[in-house]
Structure 1
């Protein structure tokens, strides 16, 4: 498929899937329950962190998270006392358990009180055109508080060649335009041109079939290769093609 044909094909799929109907079967429905910026951010962050495995289970457990945070995630994060964290006991999503959840609440409080919130903490502050070093820096800040070693694995580090799929998905939700009715476009200090595709089994397999990706492993080197090719199709909003790749893989079994 020639570049112009490929772009036309993928652009059509973006239009098909970047619609409010997409929300009904996707974990992004959880932050769409909120209207306050900080509630949306925290709900999005926590939902994205547990977004691996069966999507129905992800949605159910992310909904449970919000219930445990009294449907007011920002208020809970900022104002919780140590005793309030006891209510999170018993929560589990695959390998993310209540100890991880409690640590994440403490670390989110740390980010909001000391780094100006998630938007500021994930800003690209060097001359990079990707979030690779920004995510690495964010992880360091997030785990400045005393924590168990096991909890660190729930935030990937692209400087260690991780594809960082979940953080990249969270960034897409926050930074991309809300025009399609799916993403939020809340973070005006960030540039959607610098986003990377949340690379997973579905998007990776479709990208390889379309020759957008040759590397076989789903790691940061593959993310960088896919970045380069998607930016040739749309340099200002390359990650809109996540909808096309994901939709082709999950809904069309491409």
Structure 2
């Protein structure tokens, strides 16, 4: 397939899948429960953190978590008491457990009280190419409080050769304004041109079949290769093709 044909093909798939009908079956439905910026940011960050495995289970646990946070995630993060955290102990999604969640709430409080919030961390620390340096800084700030070592595995880090799938998905949600009401476009201080594709089994498989990706592992080098090729198709909004790659892989078995 020629480059022009590939772009036409993928652009149509973006139109097909970047629709509101996509929301209900996707983890993005959890932050869509809210209207306040900080509620959306925090709900999105938490559910993106454990968005792996069975999609129905992710949505069920996402809704359970919002209930535990009294459907006011920002207020809970800022104003919780020690006794409030005990109710979170029972939460579990695969390897993400109550102890991890409690630390996440404490760390988010530190970020919003002492670091001007999540957006400020990403907006202040990226380079002119992508947001990977800001993900490294996020890791430093996120784990500056006393914590269990095991909790670190739940925040991916490009410094450890990770493709950072879930964080890049979260950043797509916050930064990209798709004008269709799926991605939020809340973070106006960051350009969508800096976003990286949430590379996973599905998008990676389709990208290789379309010759957008040669590297076999879904690691940092693969992410950089895929980003480079998607930016050739649309330098201003390269991550719109996440809808095409994911849709082709999951819904069409491409």
Structure-1 separation of matches of 2:180 and 2:206: 22
Q: Which structure 2 residues correspond to residues 1-254 of structure 1 after superposition, within 5 A?
A: 1-125=1-125, 127-254=127-254
Structure-2 separation of matches of 1:132 and 1:108: 20
Q: Deviations over 1:170-225 (max 9, x none)?
A: 00000001402210000000110000000000000000000000000000100000
Name the CA shift for 1:173/1:116 in 2 (closer, same or farther; >3 Å). Answer: same
Structure-2 separation of matches of 1:244 and 1:235: 16
SS at 2:187's partner residue? coil
Structure-2 separation of matches of 1:153 and 1:92: 15
Number of aligned residue pairs: 254
TM-score (norm 1): 0.98
Structure-1 separation of matches of 2:107 and 2:153: 14
Cα deviation for residue 168 of structure 1 reads: 0.3
Structure-2 separation of matches of 1:86 and 1:204: 40
Residues 122-131 or 27-36, more deviating: 122-131
In structure 2, stretches of 5+ residues that fail to align are none
Structure-2 separation of matches of 1:204 and 1:127: 25
Q: Contact 1:39/1:72 (CA < 8 Å) preserved in 2?
A: yes
TM-score (norm 2): 0.98
In structure 1, stretches of 5+ residues that fail to align are none
Name the CA shift for 1:77/1:14 in 2 (closer, same or farther; >3 Å). Answer: same
Runs of 4+ in 1 over 3 A off after TM superposition: none
Structure-2 separation of matches of 1:142 and 1:229: 31
Q: Contact 2:127/2:133 (CA < 8 Å) preserved in 1?
A: no
Q: Deviations over 1:107-159 (max 9, x none)?
A: 00011001100100122535341111110111110010100001010001112
Structure-1 separation of matches of 2:176 and 2:78: 26
CA RMSD of aligned residues (A): 0.8
Structure-1 separation of matches of 2:44 and 2:253: 27
Q: Contact 1:124/1:131 (CA < 8 Å) preserved in 2?
A: no
